[in-house]
Structure 1
Amino acid sequence: MVRKCAREAFGIKKAQWRARVRWFNLAVLTITPAIWAYGACTTPVRLSTLYWSAAYYSITMLGYHRLWSHRSYKASKPLQYLLMLMGSSAVQGSAYWWARGHRSHHRYTDTPLDPYNAKRGLFYSHIGWMLVKPDTKPGYADISDLQKDDVVQWQHRWYFIISAVMGYVVPTVVAGLGWNDWWGGLYYAGMMRMTLAHHSTFCINSIAHYLGETSYDDRKTARDHLLSALLTMGEGYHNFHHQFPMDYRNATKWYQYDPTKWFIAACAVFGLASNLRVFPDSEIKKSELTMELKALKKVQDNIRWPAKAEELPVVSWETFQEQAKKRALVLISGFIHDVTDFVDQHPGGRYLLLKKVGKDATAAFCGGAYDHGNAAYNLLAMMRVGVLHGGVEHIKTITPGERLRIIEVRE
């Protein structure tokens, strides 16, 4: 039954099932948490080991994403080797393999050529793509720089040994030699930490494409959210990252959680990192403004606006006078307004309004008697029923609400 559901989820025929499963990945992603679960049942966690697990988790998550996937800064050789060892401790593939897939993800986001296409579902983008070989190869990505990088190639050649040492041996040995907690080091600093690091990283491809706001562009699934940032150790401002992938930051605000940004900035202070790439602030603000205007445009389109002057009938003075005997018509700025239903609501009292019926009340409305505000001008415009014919100056034909009106220009 489980196999049948999985086949349906991934669109795999029964005959292809075993050939398509990535058995090594499946083993790592199931055995690792299983060992953690066993350890949690048999070995009480010690406070020192818990602290070490949290510290090593933080080290693991700094990894090789922003340096080798996006070349967002330059790192000294010591920092490169350090980052390579830190990234290897996650046991998620070599930097060469990981960066190649991630570049395809950015180039072909939300398409069949995206190796962890979010449009194939939350489960698939989170972990499914790791468990089953894709029916379409990831799209082409330029990795010529990675092929020439001696540190990347060194790790790729020796990846399984390096990842085994950094992922399993180091966390165990530190806890064992440090405070004689060998099994706790293996279960918690090793297996627990690795399981959390796996799913924290996977959340970048899944949760960060489903939860939050499209702060800079809504044409792709990537989104920004504090919860995603907390789950992914700062990678959750993902809409920003997809718009400005070469930026060494994942977010620009000082209060936005992004430990990797702080780590890179600290390395720069000590001379270990340089050429930190930052997208021009004005361009970032343009993208923000675009989305804000788009949201306001939706609000604007749901508001009822006054009739345009060219849509109203042109009325002579005589006709205006005659009609004013039947209903409360007032002339202001060349527009004839029917204030019949507003007489009893007039804040200044009905008398002040009624004494202007059939007359030109432009001077009184526009500061002669009272300097009306934006709300009054906007409301008055909704009462327009005609335009007076002949020589009356239009003082304010555009209401305050219309002056900053958003116009969508179509290509």
Structure 2
Amino acid sequence: MFADQSSADKLSKAAATFEAAHPGVKVKFTGTSGTDWNDFFSKLLTQIAAGNAPDIASVATEGLQLFAAKGLAEPLDDYVKRDASELKSYFADVHPALVEAMMYQGHLYELPTDFNAGNMFYSTSLLESAGVGQPAADWNKDDFYNIAKKVSAGGGNTVGYDWVVRLWGSWTSWMYANGGNLLTEGKWDGGDWLWNTFYPNDPAAAHRKGGWRWGDPTANSAPVIESLDYMIQLQKEGLSPKPDIGGGNTLQGLFASNKIGTAIGGGFWAGGLHNAGMASGSFDVQYFPKWRTQRHLFGAGGYGIFKSSKNKDLAWEFVKTLVSAKNLDLLFPGNVTTFPRKSMMTAERYAANGPKNWHVFHDTLTQFDNTAPIPAPPYYNAMAIALNKRTTQAMSSGNAKSALDGLQRDLETAAKTG
């Protein structure tokens, strides 16, 4: 799993129910750390190539198609069909957008255990000091700009906005809101058995198919260039600094130190900011602002079974236990993610530490039905490296078009070579 070993060891409690039902079987959690998901996946692929593949691995949206396309992951279709009656309560509690994100070429590869949409966190004290009100659910890009400008004017090395160079929750959130994407969007055929079985009367499942089919690169299309240009504008005006490359937790320390007015984060930021020392009420969250649209992006997580496993049936029984409410709480203590099960997202859960507007974490899926997963094709690792490189180039040179022309070439090459 993508964590240090100390964190992985703490998850052994989530295996207790399974181990009690299977005497003699012991689950070992192994942590692998890294800068971001592509780093983790590279290490996991090296481990597999050396003949040391685990039975199960935590794989987020970023890597699902990577492992499925390489034939390394085991489809769960037959298991899910067999145990449909047992899983009905789970699927009834999980939004179909999350399930579709775990499909590839018509097959289901993971049961979602968590997800995070790219919402906007803000410092309530910095906004108050700047004399601006807290943003409304229907706020837009101009509202955001005015807030960032007034917060930045306060001085003290405080900026109105900060962000991280990566695929999830980066300038890519602006790209989605602007109606753009790095790749052409499509859907794989298939999946009818799942939608008809678990979501027969759910309007949110009416247009679902067999997973996202990422097509030709569109990295230098007008909406994409305009979105990255906006980041350059904010930097030139002193409303945001030069961004760092890092994971989703990179900015939490600066945010907790009241150096950032607004930043993109998901449900995992709630627990992260609390752990960084922020008190309830000192921060809050809102939907991402509207540009041409108010479309959000998200990433989901789950546990996949490797084809090489000699214990696939046991692995499935274990994976199945992980999506119970009890075990999800054990996997993700302290509000360090957004639970896929709607029933787990309650006011009581966030009452002590916040944020007050916690409901946006899950409601993003229902309020904005065009919300979609980040573009993560089978060549995700090459894509992530190229995105980081070309974004850094754009922010250093001030020329978004030139950098994105380069990214277009990078992605076209990666798509051909796999």
TM bracket (short chain): under 0.3
Bigger relative contact order, structure 1 or 2 (CA pairs below 8 A, ≥6 apart): 2
More helix by share: 1
More strand by share: 2
The normalised TM-score by structure 2 is 0.24
> Of the two, which has the highest radius of gyration?
1
